[in-house]
Amino acid sequence: MLWTNDLSVGVPEIDEQHKGLFACLARVEKAIDEKQRGSSVFFALDQLADYARIHFAVEEIEMRIHRYPDFDAHVEQHRTFESRVKQFSEEALHRNVFEDVRDFLNNWLVEHIQIADKAYAPYLVAGNTGAGAGGNT
């Protein structure tokens, strides 16, 4: 899975962080493709989880500052991702979860960026402080 420009949300800091998430995802996929031990997949997933936690915190701060109206639903998606990655990490040490991991991560990340993240981006770009994406008060 590679970053492409159609995934840009138009907020440079967020786009760079999304590229970082794709780099973490590439490490997970490499461990899976090379059929490395579960511990290698566990480590790659752990790195992804750490990076995602930081990225999600940045997004959530920005959404709060700009009073994004769907904040709670967006945060719930982040928590679901974190929970699922943690579950995969634990399972990777005991059973082959490789294809489940690959499918979930690829589908979730692209869908989340294209739908959920692109929905809040206009609020950040416009410098919205609570009056809608157009900035009207």
Query: Given the structure tokens 């589908």, which residue do they identify?
Result: 107
Residues 6+ apart with CB under 8 A from 102: 28, 29, 32
Residue 137 binned pLDDT confidence (cut-offs 50, 70, 90): very low
Q: What is the pLDDT of residues 42-56, one digit of tens each?
A: 889 999 999 999 999
Q: What is the pLDDT of residues 85-110, one digit of tens each?
A: 998 888 877 777 777 888 899 899 99
What does the pLDDT average to over 8-35? 91
Q: Which domains does the chain have, with CATH numbers?
A: 42-130 (1.20.120.50)
